[in-house]
C-alpha cells in the first residue's frame, strides 16, 4: 500500500525544519477470524524521508539543505521525532 508523504514543521533552536514523512496508522488486533486464525495488529509508525532546514552558507546566503543524512551519520536516534509525529497524527 502506497502512503502519501506528509509535512511536519519542527521548531528547534529558534529555527524551523520541515520534516517529510510517511505515516502508517495503527491496526487493531483481530483475535479470531471466522476460520480460527487471527491478526496481531501493529502500532502506528512513521518513516522520515527528509528533514529540510534553512541554513546560511559561508557567504551569508540562505540555503535549504536536507539534514537527515547528517543526523543519521552522527548516529542520532529519530525515535523522539517519530513519536512527536505519531502524537501529532493521532490528535490532528
- Closest residue by Cα to residue 6 from 44, 56, 38, 43: 44
pLDDT tens by residue, 5-46: 999 998 877 778 999 999 999 999 888 877 878 888 899 999
Q: Is 11 helix (H, G, I), strand (E, B) or coil?
A: strand
d(CA 81, CA 64): 20
pTM of the complete model beyond 0.85 = no
User: Per-residue confidence at 1, pLDDT binned at 50, 70, 90?
Assistant: low
pLDDT tens by residue, 55-89: 888 999 999 999 999 888 887 778 889 999 999 99
Amino acid at each position: 500500500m502506497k502512503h502519501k508523504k506528509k509535512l511536519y514543521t519542527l521548531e528547534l533552536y529558534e529555527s524551523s525544519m520541515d520534516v517529510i514523512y510517511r505515516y502508517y496508522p495503527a491496526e487493531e488486533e483481530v483475535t479470531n477470524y471466522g476460520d480460527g486464525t487471527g491478526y496481531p495488529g501493529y502500532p502506528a509508525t512513521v518513516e522520515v524521508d527528509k528533514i529540510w532546514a534553512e541554513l546560511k552558507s559561508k557567504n551569508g546566503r540562505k540555503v535549504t539543505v536536507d539534514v537527515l543524512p547528517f543526523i543519521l551519520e552522527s548516529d542520532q536516534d529519530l525515535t523522539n521525532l517519530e513519536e512527536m509525529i505519531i502524537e501529532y497524527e493521532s490528535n490532528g
